Chains A and B, each alone.
Chain A
Amino acid sequence: MRRTISLTVNGVSRDLNVEPRTLLVHALREQLDLTGTHVGCDTTQCGACTVHLDGRAVKSCNVLAVQAEGRDVRTIEGMGTPDALHPLQTAFWEKHGLQCGFCTPGMIMTAADLLSSNPAPSEAEIRHAFQGNLCRCTGYQKIVEAVQAAAAQR
């Protein structure tokens, strides 16, 4: 029943052998060791597993790995490295947009999608964009400030 799929992950072509029921997030974490994408719920609420699929933010717990066949996946590991941070990563760092850091990869992926379609969002638009991303630590205010700071730099 297992199937082999081909997809691009962070710019690299990968072949994966997965069960039909395997979720994209589990394929990324368990098979590709891309453990920056986190699992915080089982009902698509928390957004910790957010990745980009063909450039748009999706919750990788709500995508079957086989649905990613032939598609382009970008995870937090493909955004920037500690030595060369993505501007959103820098902004989250400077504005203290993270505490425990568990939701952070998903927040950054969602924010990147927002800024790609709306380069200068209002505070209300930023808050609305995080409708599907939960943070229990920060109270969101510094996350909002981080996105505003990143937007201002574009």
Chain B
Amino acid sequence: MATLFGSGIRRREDPRLLTGTGLFTDDLKLAGMTYMVVVRSPYAHATVRRIDKAAAAAAPGVLAVFTSADLTGIGTVLCAWNVPDSDLKVPAHPLLAAERVRYVGDGVAIVIADSPEAARDAAELVDVDYDPLPAVVDPEKATRSDAPTLHADVPGNVAFTWTVAGGDADAAFAAAPVKVDLRIVQQRLLPTAMEPRAAVASHNAATGQLTLWTTSQNPHIHRFLASVTLGVPEHKVRVISPDVGGGFGSKIPCYADELLASFAAMRVGRPVRWTEDRSENYKATIHGRDHIEYVEMCGNGDGTITGLRTRVFAGLGAYASTAAPGVPTILHGLMYSGSYRIPNIHGVVKGVYTTTTPVDAYRGAGRPEATFLVERLVDTFARAVGLDPADVRRRNLITKDEMPYTVATGITYDSGDYHTAFDKALAAIGYDAFRAEQAKAREQGRYVGIGLSTYTEICGLGPSQVAGAVGFGGGLYESAIVRVYPTGVVRVYIGTRPHGQGEETTFAQIVADEFGVPIENVEVVAGDTESTPQGWGTYGSRTTAVGGSAVVLAARKVKEKARKLAAHLLEAGEDDVEWQDGAFRVKGSPAQSKSFADVALMANVAWNMPAGLEPGLEASAFFDPSNFVYPYGTHISTVEVDIETGAVSVLRYVCVDDCGPHINPMIVEGQVHGGVIQGIGEALQEMAVYTDDGQLLTGTMMDYAVPKASQMPRIESHFTYTASPVNPLGVKGIGEAGTIASVACIANAVCDALAPFGIRHIDKPLTPARVWAAIQQAGGGAR
């Protein structure tokens, strides 16, 4: 019988989304609904002298105005990744600022009214007397002695200093004949999920039950943290994450706003809805990246890499967001070996508070930054030794015979055949032919370039024991309940929260295969903590590798029980019954059989159960992986630079990714496309810009350059398939790969195109203005 695993079937979540009948949080209407607006600081850093809420409280339709003084008994916004051995300092992050605001967008008051318009009008009437203080937006400058201090308990604004080391990097550099270095700016980015954040909170005073509908990638984490901060017992908190319009990491953190809506619902006694607008989203929802990096690579004249060193200033913004400390450390520094044998590595990352919006996980989260610095260094090193960058990569790539391979940073890559993916990408783009064309183009005064980027990412987060060891404030296993109804239809309850990645379809494919039932008979349920088992969410390309594995384990438990019952019903020994052609059959006499639906009915009515077997047909499973998974691949792009304008055109973009076997190849390809375009946006156009006094200049979509269809190339997507040994599906995760590989790929192509000018590096985004300026500075293109 044909299996659904490996089939690019249409997604089951689509009919509702295509017809406008999905349910996003802001779509929700409850009887007696009230509306919340957050009054936010217009200053990056200021003392709050006084807040006068009288006029707002007296405005038409207003039910309440709350400031920090009203938040008695309420805790703070929590940071949940306490990276060890880093002297981490997490200052208090109140839900509403009391005496001091620390970024533009910091909340100072909330207004609750009976219509959105009334709430917004009244918010304008909240009179806050600010006394501005000096701001600092640059994470390196924030560590200098003349920088303003954000938090009294964090001298010098340094949140942590984290070191990663393996081998002896200093000795390697001292001995190496070739050394290269770069200063890299990983510019601040705005995640820009198309759906802004939203929350609807409802409280039942009689039962003490708080229900919070919210835009969440991980509702169980939000339940946990909301319970702690609000002081509501965890079993009285129900978090529902309905359809979620993209996250890219920005809907992982626990923010003040959702908790404030919950607080207000408890105080006002009516449901409260809050939805941010885009300008508010850009100020109040986490940002990504924001590193200043000093990086070096050393090696031999034959192209062998022997060492890598980094010194990184990672901006955290004004407060430590939920996962923030782990992003530039565990998810970044441990990946400094990339896809290569680099025996000696030393990195120091300083997390720094600045008067800006908090920074946390954004698609790739630490790994794009690691891949970018490694891949830029490899190209720079190749140029220094006078070798082709493809040859240098091939020489240093970890070979498949070395797998599993422990890199100098101490982690062990599970599996991979890097050279095959690399060679496949070179062949697909026609590397040698392009080099020949490039030489000709240069003679004609055209500047074309080719950029390579290999990548290895740490995904499928991860073994819970490791999570504990690295200070992650939760487990990283996943869970599933598979429940079979009397008519043989199936519901699968999962602890993760897909929000565009298609697991309502792929998980149903797995279960339908396992039970030999039509996929229409399988429904996947996610997002409601009331019905789904404890899970840790969708991020870190973990949902299929970890959550999918829990699903298959639960399904196998169900099937094993079904087999026992089938044997009993067939009056055969357990060992004499096998699953074949979509039914339980007696070995040797396959006509004697029970379908899955037959067994489901008999299990649920329990008229004739064998001794020792409980009625019913359902099982739950928890899957805790033994290791992370390490997807990898090679991306290659070709570009042309117009040296008169500095404009970069992407000519071709080829990728070869390996995420293990594909459950649904159509969905996998979609993930690659989206990730690559997000990375090209980072490489060429996206940047959050602050003025020195902390005003966000890119505060709307008019100013922040989200990639448009007309600006982006077609992606030529190819794959290799290397199963991971660490989960029963062999899958690795593909949600972040494109973003991780593509940024360096494009930057390397542009630098390659401009090599005749001696241009070694240009800070991204590689906008026409920056590229043009670099060409001018190098003495090229002048007229």
Chain A residues within CB distance 8 Å of chain B: 19, 21, 26, 29-30, 33-43, 45-46, 48, 75-77, 79-82, 85, 89, 92-94, 96, 98-105, 108, 124, 126-128, 130-131, 133-144
**B179 proximal to A (CB < 8 A):** no
- In the bound complex, what is the Cα–Cα distance between A76 and B20 (angstroms)? 6
- In the bound complex, what is the Cα–Cα distance between A99 and B14 (angstroms)? 8
Central interface residue in B16, B26, B245, B669, by most chain A CB within 10 Å: B245
Complex interface residues of chain B between 13 and 40 (CB less than 8 A to chain A) = 13-24, 26-27, 29
Instruction: Please give the distance in Å from A18's CB to the nearest CB on chain B.
Output: 11
- In the bound complex, what is the Cα–Cα distance between A79 and B499 (angstroms)? 24
- In the bound complex, what is the Cα–Cα distance between A40 and B18 (angstroms)? 17
Contact of B708 among A30, A35, A38, A131 (CB under 8 A): A131
- In the bound complex, what is the Cα–Cα distance between A144 and B715 (angstroms)? 12
A136 touches B11 (CB 8 A): no
Instruction: Please give the distance in Å from B168's CB to the nearest CB on chain A.
Output: 43
- In the bound complex, what is the Cα–Cα distance between A34 and B252 (angstroms)? 28
B248 touches A96 (CB 8 A): no
Say yes or no: A42-B277 contact (C-beta < 8 A), given A76-B19, A82-B15, A130-B709: yes
- In the bound complex, what is the Cα–Cα distance between A45 and B673 (angstroms)? 22
Instruction: Please give the distance in Å from A48's CB to the nearest CB on chain B.
Output: 6
B17 — which chain A residues lie within 8 A by C-beta?
A: 98, 100-101, 104
- For A133, the closest partner residue in chain B by CB is B709
A135 touches B278 (CB 8 A): no
Say yes or no: A93-B246 contact (C-beta < 8 A), given A79-B19, A140-B677, A140-B712: no
**B442 proximal to A (CB < 8 A):** no
- In the bound complex, what is the Cα–Cα distance between A133 and B694 (angstroms)? 30
Contact with A along B674-694 (1 / 0, CB 8 A): 111110000000000000000
Instruction: Please give the distance in Å from B611's CB to the nearest CB on chain A.
Output: 47
**B193 proximal to A (CB < 8 A):** yes
Say yes or no: A141-B715 contact (C-beta < 8 A), given A102-B245, A134-B708: yes
A79 — which chain B residues lie within 8 A by C-beta?
A: 19
Instruction: Please give the distance in Å from A82's CB to the nearest CB on chain B.
Output: 4
Smallest CB-CB A-B distances: 6 pairs: A36-B20, A101-B17, A102-B245, A100-B500, A139-B673, A139-B677
Instruction: Please give the distance in Å from B150's CB to the nearest CB on chain A.
Output: 29
**B279 proximal to A (CB < 8 A):** yes
- In the bound complex, what is the Cα–Cα distance between A126 and B709 (angstroms)? 9
B501 touches A99 (CB 8 A): yes
Complex interface residues of chain B between 190 and 205 (CB less than 8 A to chain A) = 192-196
A41 — which chain B residues lie within 8 A by C-beta?
A: 277-278, 700-701
| Besides A101-B500, A136-B193, 6 other A-B contacts (C-beta < 8 A) | A19-B117, A38-B24, A89-B18, A98-B14, A100-B195, A134-B701
- In the bound complex, what is the Cα–Cα distance between A73 and B68 (angstroms)? 45
B195 touches A38 (CB 8 A): yes
- For B8, the closest partner residue in chain A by CB is A96
B192 — which chain A residues lie within 8 A by C-beta?
A: 136
B10 touches A94 (CB 8 A): yes
A100 touches B245 (CB 8 A): yes
B710 — which chain A residues lie within 8 A by C-beta?
A: 124, 127-128, 130-131
